[in-house]
Amino acid sequence: MKNILITGATSGIGRELALQLAEAGNKVGLMGRRTEMLESIQKEIGENAFIRTLDVTDLEKAETVYRDLIDEMGGMDMMILNAGVGVDKIMSPWKADKLTIEVNVLAFSHGLHFAFDFFRRQGHGHIVGMSSIASHLASYKAAVYTASKHFVSNYMTGFRQKAKRLPADITVTDIKPGFVKSEMTENVPRMFWVAETDKAVKQMIKGLDKKKNIVYITKRWMLVAWLARLIPQFVWDRL
């Protein structure tokens, strides 16, 4: 049994991770903004689910919530930084970009620092970040989103290098999904290779069990990542 904290656990990938990890016998500490959805997941899982309402952009509160959950669960072996936002066409362009930076960059960075420091002191642990295949791309249609995911992946790479220079046994896993059915993707046009949420999460967990550095979901998206590195910039600029 592992004690696993998950941010952004109220729906989509976060919710399915909570369900599958709990079914495998782990304790899960679940955080999200929507209390009623957290309570619903807790009721479905049972005694191995621990919940806290949290907006991860409230950094001071987030640290307190993380510590409270760790104490209630009796420790932490893995932290999954899943909270994130996609493209928001309702807000004004700057407000949407600002929110994306606050959640996908600033709150993610804070969570990664917290987990890394905790596991460094503990001597072992597993940090998981939810990036995207978009980390390999740049798009005028989603400039801030692709940039934020590029930051997530590169930031984790840096911390993975830090971990290798410590006596602690810390694994840093970068999960890079393509299109997965969720609230975030339900209005995205022209999607392809769309994975069902349960299938995608099963593959994620297999990758986590193997302590992989990078996990592409589904595996075929590795081809897109490879092609993205080969396509010249002037071609991307015309797409």
Two tokens at 203? 């593959």
Phi/psi of residue 75, each to 5°? Answer: 135, 175
Question: What percent of the chain clears pLDDT 70, i.e. is strictly above it?
Answer: 92
32-64, pLDDT tens digit by residue?
A: 999 999 999 999 999 999 999 999 999 999 999
Q: Are 96 and 144 in contact (CB under 8 A)?
A: yes
Rounded to an integer, the average pLDDT of 217-236 is 80
Identify the band that residue 184 occupies on the pLDDT scale cut at 50, 70 and 90: low
| CA 96/CA 93 separation, integer angstroms | 5
Q: Which residue has the higher pLDDT, 29 or 183?
A: 29
Instruction: Write down the domain spans for the chain.
Output: 3-238
Residues linked to residue 78 through DSSP beta bridges, in sequence order: 4, 126
> What value does the mean pLDDT take over residues 4-20?
96
Residue 176 is inside which H or E element, if any?
strand 169-177
The mean pLDDT value of the chain amounts to: 91
Q: 182 pLDDT band (50/70/90 cuts)?
A: low
Cα distance between residue 199 and residue 180, in whole Å: 9
Backbone angles phi and psi of 234, in degrees to 5:
-65, -25
Distance CA 33, CA 196 (A): 24
Q: Is 35 helix (H, G, I), strand (E, B) or coil?
A: helix
% of the chain surpassing 90 pLDDT: 74
pTM assigned to the model:
0.91
pLDDT score, position 79: 98
Q: Which of 104-113, 133-142, 143-152, 198-207 has the lowest mean pLDDT?
A: 133-142
What is the structure's pLDDT at 140? 85
**Residue 124 corresponds to which amino acid?**
H
Q: Which of 133-147, 171-185, 223-237 has the lowest mean pLDDT?
A: 223-237
3-238 CATH, one of 3.40.50.720, 3.40.50.150, 1.20.810.10, 3.40.50.620: 3.40.50.720
State whether the Cα torsion 24-54-179-237 is positive or negative: negative
Residue the block writes with tokens 């005694």: 47
pLDDT computed for residue 222 by the predictor: 83
Q: Which residue has the higher pLDDT, 236 or 67?
A: 67
Distances (CA, A) of 128 to 162, 203, 216: 15, 14, 13
User: Per 3-state DSSP, what percentage of the chain is helix, strand, and coil (rounded to 5)?
Assistant: 50, 15, 30
